Amino acid sequence: MGRQVTITGIAQRIPTAASLRYFLSRSRGSQLGAWTSDQSSVISSRTVLETTLARMKQKFSTGEIPLPDFWGGFRVTPETIEFWQSQPDRLHDRFVYVLDDANSWSIERLAP
């Protein structure tokens, strides 16, 4: 496929109230998954996830599942967005959109 998009900018943590609204809009299975998975940590097998999920289902068998303290998100305000696409002989296409002080985007072609 040979495509990539890179976004740079300012990342700000989303307020807890917004995270809670989003968390509560997700399916019960997704909410349980948030409690089950220590995201990106190394696990020995899928059985670890399945065992933890069974514990979480039991723990939260009744009522609303609470928002985990460790769960939330970030909002990125982009300053640059680069699009890269593979081409033969390494003459890849690269375009970068740059946000200026007037809040307008300029587009530039970059050398591969």
Q: Which residues are catalytic?
A: 90
Are 77 and 12 contacting, i.e. CB atoms less than 8 angstroms apart?
yes
What is the rounded distance in angstroms from the CA atom of residue 58 to the CA atom of residue 52?
A: 10
What is the rounded distance in angstroms from the CA atom of residue 64 to the CA atom of residue 35?
A: 13
- Tell me the CA end-to-end span of the chain in Å, nearest whole number: 17
